[in-house]
Amino acid sequence: MTDAILQARGIVKRYGRVTALDNADFELRRGEILAVIGDNGAGKSSLIKAISGAVVPDEGEIHLDGEKVQFTSPMQAREAGIETVYQNLALAPALSIADNMFMGRELRREGVMGKWFRMLDRPAMESFARQKLSELGLLTIQNIHQAVETLSGGQRQGVAVARAAAFGSKVVILDEPTAALGVKESRKVLELIQDVRSRGQSIVLISHNMPHVFEVADRIHVHRLGRRLCVVDPKECTMSDAVAFMTGAKAPPPEAIAA
């Protein structure tokens, strides 16, 4: 058995008469960047939601770090160390960067002020946010009190990635992180992803952007018709091959299916 941090076997998810996931398997190895690609409607999002606790699969097992887990809400997945950066980023636009990073897990003051008056520990949250952002080379944001809506798209993405990286002790899932970004901002986010990986976290990257996928991924999970079709190595396979597998234009090599 390889060193898998997150593993799913035979996941089934039906929505009424539509089967979104049909006995899907999934494996994320420790410290790798695994890209998940697939056509629209192939079930990528359902797969990711099942792993991150946003939907509860009808059948199948998920193992995190060798232990069987069953998430019924994203909160449970977060507590287990799986953080997700959603396509809509899940940021509250009118709140500050620090408030957003700690949404749902705020720090409170010590002593009477925190215990009885439930006062937030703003200085601690702000210094933590500042530290995390600078670790990821994002301190071009000048004012930590700034409302998120005054940031550019790339900076917002950066805040969301920083939040996930700061708290996702085991796995960070990124759903289309570069879809809405310009060339330069995409580059910044790809660097961020590599930074996060270099600190030992495992990453799942969902993307439609083949060049980005082939640049950063260690392995590529090709999803088709609700199940894992194959896993390919980006170094041994071309982009057109991957697209051919994904769309069904070409059958994948048998050794890739076994993986």
Q: Which of 72, 131, 150, 238 binds other proteins (CB under 8 A)?
A: 150
Q: How far is the CB of 229 from other proteins (least distance, A)?
A: 25
66 versus 211: smaller Cβ distance to other proteins: 211
Q: Which helix (H) or strand (E) holds 103?
A: none
Q: How far is the CB of 96 from other proteins (least distance, A)?
A: 9
Is position 140 an interface residue for other proteins (rule: CB under 8 A)? yes
Is position 74 an interface residue for other proteins (rule: CB under 8 A)? yes
Is position 215 an interface residue for other proteins (rule: CB under 8 A)? yes
Q: Which stretch binds other proteins (CB under 8 A): 1-9, 57-65, 116-124, 241-249?
A: 116-124
Is position 41 an interface residue for other proteins (rule: CB under 8 A)? no
Tell me if residue 67 falls in helix, strand or coil: strand
Is position 130 an interface residue for other proteins (rule: CB under 8 A)? no
Is position 198 an interface residue for other proteins (rule: CB under 8 A)? yes
CA 17 to chain centroid = 28
d(C-alpha 194, C-alpha 216), whole Å: 7
118 versus 250: smaller Cβ distance to other proteins: 118
Burial class (CB in 10 A: 0-12, 13-18, 19+), 188: buried
Is position 15 an interface residue for other proteins (rule: CB under 8 A)? no
- How much of the chain is in helix, strand and coil states, percent to nearest 5? 35, 25, 35
On the CB side of 184, CA atoms within 13 Å amount to 3
Q: How far is the CB of 243 from other proteins (least distance, A)?
A: 17
Is position 46 an interface residue for other proteins (rule: CB under 8 A)? no
Looking at residues 153 to 172 of the shown chain, list those that interact with other proteins (rule: CB under 8 A).
Answer: none
Is position 134 an interface residue for other proteins (rule: CB under 8 A)? no
Distances (CA, A) of 159 to 10, 150, 154: 34, 12, 9
239 versus 257: smaller Cβ distance to other proteins: 239
* Beta-strand relationship, 82-85 and 171-175: parallel
Beta strands in the chain (DSSP E): 4-15, 18-29, 33-38, 59-64, 67-69, 82-85, 171-175, 202-206, 219-224, 227-232
Is position 180 an interface residue for other proteins (rule: CB under 8 A)? no
Is position 182 an interface residue for other proteins (rule: CB under 8 A)? no
Look up tokens 């708290």; give the residue. Answer: 167
Distances (CA, A) of 243 to 39, 127, 179, 237: 9, 44, 18, 10
Q: Which stretch binds other proteins (CB under 8 A): 6-14, 56-64, 118-126, 250-258?
A: 118-126
Sites of contact with other proteins (CB under 8 A): 54, 74-75, 78, 84, 86, 88-95, 99-100, 103-106, 108, 117-120, 137, 140-142, 147, 149-150, 183-184, 187, 190-191, 194, 198, 211, 214-215
